[in-house]
Amino acid sequence: MTARPKGEGLTPYQGKKRCFGEYKCPKCKRKWMSGNSWANMGQECIKCHINVYPHKQRPLEKPDGLDVSDQSKEHPQHLCEKCKVLGYYCRRVQ
């Protein structure tokens, strides 16, 4: 079971770069946000273990000089579809 938005691709954003994504599990309704969101890639819900595609994505911006994604926060690679497909940490992609 996967949750996916309407449209051509699996995600609202269809570019090559990393972006900011908002997720909501269709099963448990858990919501989360990630600064490691990619086109046509989902993230696994930590409760339900199903792949969830973001319903909203926007460019990574730096409001007032600060990146909205917290760099000190550890990225759960085991839940990230992009990391799993690459076989390594998705943030290494330039």
Tell me the pLDDT tens digit for each residue of 27-48.
999 999 999 999 999 999 999 9
Find the DSSP H helices in 1-94: 81-86
Cα four-point dihedral sign 9, 52, 60, 84: negative
Calculate mean pLDDT across residues 63-86: 77
pTM above 0.85, yes or no: no
Which residue in 46, 58, 73 sits closest to 18, CA to CA?
A: 58
Which residue in 66, 22, 57 sits closest to 39, CA to CA?
A: 57
Block residue for tokens 């448990």? 28
